[in-house]
């Protein structure tokens, strides 16, 4: 694997983590707000899960730096993640 950038401080410029934190907080508030509308379950659950998976994706991409890492790490993590998303979505909806 080509990793010579891993130890270097001269990484690609990362997205502002405070901005990501702001988006995650707003998305969490949005999730809680959506539950207050008493939508039908078959509408509410997919909306909530979609927001949750986007939030999880943001954590993986920007906090775990998957977006800036070698593609092998992405394959290692995203493969079981896709299975998990499929499993949870299928069971919950």
Q: Where on the chain is the footprint of other proteins (CB under 8 A)?
A: 1, 3, 6-7, 9, 11, 14, 17-18, 20-21, 24-25, 28, 31-32, 35, 41, 44-45, 48-49, 51-53, 55-56, 59-60, 63-64, 72-73, 76-77, 79-81, 83-84, 87-88, 91-92
Residue 31 CB, shortest distance to other proteins, in Å, is 6
Contact 89, 49 (CB under 8 A): yes
3-state secondary structure of 85: helix
Shortest reach from residue 28's CB to other proteins, in Å: 6
């Amino acid at each position: 694997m080509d990793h010579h950038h891993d130890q270097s401080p001269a990484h690609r410029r990362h997205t502002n983590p405070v901005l990501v934190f702001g988006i995650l907080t707003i998305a969490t508030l949005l999730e809680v707000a959506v539950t207050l509308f008493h939508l039908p379950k078959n509408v509410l659950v997919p909306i909530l899960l979609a927001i949750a998976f986007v939030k999880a994706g943001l954590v993986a991409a920007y906090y775990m730096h998957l977006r800036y890492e070698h593609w092998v790490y992405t394959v290692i993590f995203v493969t079981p993640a896709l299975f998990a998303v499929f499993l949870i979505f299928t069971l919950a909806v």
